[in-house]
Amino acid sequence: MTRRALVRPLEAVLLVAAVGLAGGCGYSAQRPFPDGIQTVYVEMFESKEFRRDLEFQLTEALVKRIEMDTPYRIADRQVADTVFTGEILEVQQRGLGNSFRTNRPREVSATILMRYSWKDQRTGEILVDRPRFAFTTTYIPDVGETFTKGMIRGLDQAAERIVETMETGW
């Protein structure tokens, strides 16, 4: 086989790859959020938990995630297209394996149970309704992580998952 005969199949493969990349294979870099919505009002989450400030931390994390990860702007309730409401129902902690020296948990799992909804104020349509949404995070007390530090990280991750539920097509 000559060198010229080997180049033709290689050129064909490169051409097919270039066309596939240029066409995007049917995928888009933009996330599929509902059209026609420009603004969101995030109401302060309520909480049935005895732990203080979790509702403030979750609300703040959700506002930041909406601003970073969506095409929407945060607005006052009177002018917002949509309203996001929610409530922290419960936080459960469980130790995962005990230290041999102290008999205290090596790692702690914290599950946050919440409910939330996203409503279009203009039409009254419920865009997202999650009556029971659970998110679990872990923290390690032996390396100095406290419940508060673990929850701040966990609530930010939960806000990221909540924003993912605002996407369409799933």
Residues 162 and 118 sit within 8 Å (Cβ to Cβ)? no
Q: What is the mean pLDDT of the chain?
A: 79
Per-residue pLDDT of 91-148, as tens digits, reads: 887 777 766 676 666 677 788 899 999 999 999 999 999 999 998 887 776 666 777 7
Query: Quick one: which H or E segment has residue 10?
Result: helix 3-23
Q: Is residue 1 part of a domain?
A: no
Looking at 24-170, list the stretches that DSSP marks H as alpha helix, in order from N- to C-terminal side: 54-69, 147-165
Residue with tokens 């679990």: 136
Mean pLDDT of 21-49: 73
Domain span at residue 75 reads 29-165
State phi, psi for 30 to the nearest 5 degrees.
Answer: -85, 140
> Token match 């888009």: residue?
28
pTM given for the model: 0.72
Q: Long-range CB contacts (< 8 A, 24+ apart) of 57-65?
A: 57/151, 57/152, 57/155, 58/86, 58/88, 58/114, 58/155, 58/158, 58/159, 61/155, 61/156, 61/158, 61/159, 62/86, 62/159, 62/162, 62/163, 64/156, 64/159, 65/156, 65/159, 65/160, 65/162, 65/163
Over range 35-51, report the average pLDDT. Answer: 88
Residue 150's pLDDT band (cuts 50, 70, 90): confident
Q: Is position 90 within any domain?
A: yes
Predicted pLDDT at 28: 47
CATH at residue 131: 3.40.50.10610
- Residue 20 inside a domain? The answer is no
By DSSP bridging, strand 82-98 and strand 105-120 are antiparallel
Query: First and final CA of the chain: distance in angstroms?
Result: 51
Q: Which two tokens stand for residue 100?
A: 């041999």
Q: Is residue 18 a part of any domain in this protein? A: no
Residue 93 lies in a domain: yes
CB atoms within 10 A of CB 26: 5
- The number of folded domains in the chain is 1
